[in-house]
């Protein structure tokens, strides 16, 4: 049995993996390319001998290929740059701490915890924060952004808005936000960890100043990501200790990981049309199948465009943690929110910002399908989720 997101077995239960917003299974084609790179010999792209030159060549080729997939040239002097990082959290941290050193930071209330936590840390250091609201279905209020930059633009050093929400999947109006920020002369950072490899992107025409992404969201390896910077952007390093990456992110570059990220992004972009259609079909099948059996379920963010594979469902009159554990026991892997905070399971700040009812906030689970998911898995999931919901809802009614 091939160990993948489709057929991992534990204690005799075959698990259906529906947590692809948290991380995705590595594409076997990517793993093979990485293995070849790892077996190619020592890889330190800073070394001047033959091994080092070959590593540098492989690294540069991978970075240029990533740029091509993102619609940006990364081989031009004083042009756009890509800083290789350990992933989305580090990229977000470097963007917020290293861009716009003076002035306020404006960010939406539904940003990923890595953005919000960094912003609140900066607030403790004396920076002021301006919060952008969202509507009841999770879309950022651009009228508020317009007013904010028009009245206080000279005080705002950076705006940070995610490309799509990691809990609801709601796609944010980033291009329009970029136009507003450009007119005001304020840089826009975009956390695109949920959209790179899933939605079309042309960075050279986007108006975005900085963009975060990470490989493990599009079937690449964990532990590597990027912070893209527009040509005019300069960023301060998070730490010091070497001359790599123009001293903005010192340390030996992980060549095999970058090669893997490049390969994964290439396949994600090449197969985007069919993957999008496949994931949307499975997501809709899951939602429609559950709604047919339980009309009282609430699909969060459904009125807006969403990521094709993301579904946030409120199982009213149940507790999300109890539901999560019940599904895990029958082989359905999902989550109760962001993977970076689900361990302690605090109430969702995203649903809170959307002014959802307490019942909705306390009962919402997130499901995420991928290009490896199957119709058979979705049909099994509908049965398992429905059964768990019936049992827990009945128990709640008895307890009350």
pLDDT at 100: 79
DSSP reduced 3-state for 83: strand
**Is 14:328 a contact under the CB 8 Å cutoff?**
no
- CA dist list (Å): 92 to 139, 296, 400: 21, 37, 44
pLDDT given at position 237: 86
3-state secondary structure at position 127: coil
Residue 346 pLDDT greater than 90, yes or no? no
pLDDT in tens, 62-82: 999 999 999 999 999 899 999
Cα–Cα dist 213/273, whole Å: 20
pLDDT reported for residue 109: 98
What per-residue string of b and e applies to 121-132 under the rule 16 or more CB within 10 Å gives b?
ebeeeebeebeb
In this structure, are residues 67 and 73 in contact, taking their beta carbons and an 8 Å threshold?
A: yes
| Token duo for residue 309 | 């594979």
Task: Give the DSSP per-residue string, 289-339.
Answer: HHHHH-TT-EETTTTS-B-TTEEEEE-TTS-HHHHHHHHHHTTEE-BSS-T
pLDDT in tens, 106-144: 999 999 999 999 999 999 999 999 999 999 999 999 999
Which residue in the list 69, 181, 340, 397 is annotated as catalytic? Answer: 340
What is the CATH number assigned to the segment(s) 28-270?
3.40.640.10
- Is 356 labeled as catalytic in the residue annotation? no
Residue 320 is predicted with a pLDDT of 95
What integer pLDDT is reported at residue 5 of this predicted model? Answer: 45
Beta-bridge partner residues of 10: 13
- 7 pLDDT band, cuts 50/70/90, is low
Mean pLDDT of 33-49: 93
The answer to whether the CB of 238 falls within 8 A of the CB of 115 is: no
Length of the chain equals 400
Report the candidate in 292, 297, 337, 301 with the shortest Cα–Cα distance to residue 316.
297
Is it the case that residue 377 has pLDDT exceeding 80?
yes
Does residue 342 register a pLDDT over 60?
Answer: no
Mean predicted confidence (pLDDT) in 259-272: 98
What's the average model confidence in pLDDT over 36-42? Answer: 93
Looking at the chain, the whole-number percentage of residues with pLDDT higher than 90 is 82
**Across the chain, what does the average pLDDT equal?**
92
List the chain domain ranges: 8-18+271-399, 28-270
> How confident is the model at residue 258, as a pLDDT?
97
- Cα gap 92→107, rounded to integer Å: 12
- In this prediction, residues 86-105 reach a mean pLDDT of 93
Measured distance CA(155)–CA(109) in Å, rounded: 19
Q: What share of the chain is helix, strand, coil (3-state, %, to 5)?
A: 45, 15, 40
The structure tokens listed for 68 are 């091509």
Nearest of 90, 147, 135 to residue 108 by alpha carbon: 135
The mean pLDDT of 232-237, rounded to a whole number, is 90
User: In the prediction, which pLDDT does 247 show?
Assistant: 79
Distance of alpha carbon 303 from alpha carbon 67, whole angstroms:
33
Pairing of strands 104-108, 156-160: parallel
**Residue 132 forms beta bridges with which residues?**
108
pLDDT digits (tens, 9 = 90+) for 14-30: 899 999 999 999 999 99
Q: Pull the structure tokens for residue 273.
A: 């049309």
- Asked if residue 223 lies in contact with residue 87, where contact means CB atoms within 8 angstroms, the answer is yes
- Tell me: pLDDT of 83 over 90: yes
Instruction: Name the β-bridge partners of 37.
Output: none
Protein fold of 8-18+271-399: 3.90.1150
* Token pair belonging to 237: 């390093």
Q: What pLDDT does 153 receive?
A: 66
What is the arithmetic mean of pLDDT over 299-328? 96
Q: What is the CA radius of gyration of the chain?
A: 22
């Amino acid at each position: 049995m091939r160990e993948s997101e489709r057929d991992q077995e534990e204690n005799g239960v075959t698990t259906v993996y529906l947590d692809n917003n948290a991380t995705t299974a590595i594409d076997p084609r990517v793993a093979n390319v990485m293995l070849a790179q790892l077996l190619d010999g020592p890889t330190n792209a800073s070394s001047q001998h033959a091994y080092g030159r070959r590593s540098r060549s492989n690294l540069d080729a991978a970075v240029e290929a990533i740029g091509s997939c993102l619609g940006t040239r990364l081989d031009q002097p004083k042009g756009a740059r890509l800083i290789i990082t350990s992933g989305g959290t580090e990229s977000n941290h470097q963007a917020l701490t290293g861009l716009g050193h003076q002035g306020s930071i404006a960010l939406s209330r539904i940003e990923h915890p890595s953005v919000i936590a960094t912003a609140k840390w900066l607030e403790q250091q004396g920076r002021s924060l301006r919060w952008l609201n969202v509507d009841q279905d999770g879309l950022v209020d651009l009228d508020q952004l317009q007013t904010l930059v028009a009245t206080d633009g000279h005080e705002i050093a950076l705006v940070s808005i995610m490309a799509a929400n990691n809990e609801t999947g709601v796609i944010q109006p980033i291009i329009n936000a970029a136009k507003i920020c450009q007119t005001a002369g304020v840089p826009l950072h975009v956390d695109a960890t949920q959209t790179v490899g899933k939605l079309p992107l042309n960075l050279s025409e986007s108006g975005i100043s900085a963009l975060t992404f990470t490989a493990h969201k599009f079937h690449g390896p964990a532990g590597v990501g990027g912070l893209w910077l527009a040509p005019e952007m300069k960023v301060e390093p998070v730490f010091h200790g070497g001359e790599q990456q123009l001293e903005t992110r010192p340390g030996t570059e992980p060549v095999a990981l970058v090669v893997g990220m490049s390969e994964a992004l290439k396949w994600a972009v090449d197969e985007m049309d069919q993957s999008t259609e496949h994931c949307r079909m499975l997501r809709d099948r899951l939602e429609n199948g559950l709604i047919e059996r339980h009309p009282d379920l609430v699909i969060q963010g459904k009125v807006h465009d969403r990521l094709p594979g993301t579904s946030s469902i409120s199982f009213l009159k149940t507790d999300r943690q109890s539901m999560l554990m019940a599904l895990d026991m029958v082989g359905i892997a999902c989550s109760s929110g962001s993977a970076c905070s689900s361990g302690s399971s605090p109430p969702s700040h995203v649903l809170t910002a959307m002014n959802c009812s307490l019942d909705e906030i306390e009962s919402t689970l997130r499901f995420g399908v991928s290009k490896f998911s199957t119709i058979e898995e979705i049909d099994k999931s509908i049965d398992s989720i429905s059964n768990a919901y019936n049992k827990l809802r009945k128990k709640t009614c008895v307890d009350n």
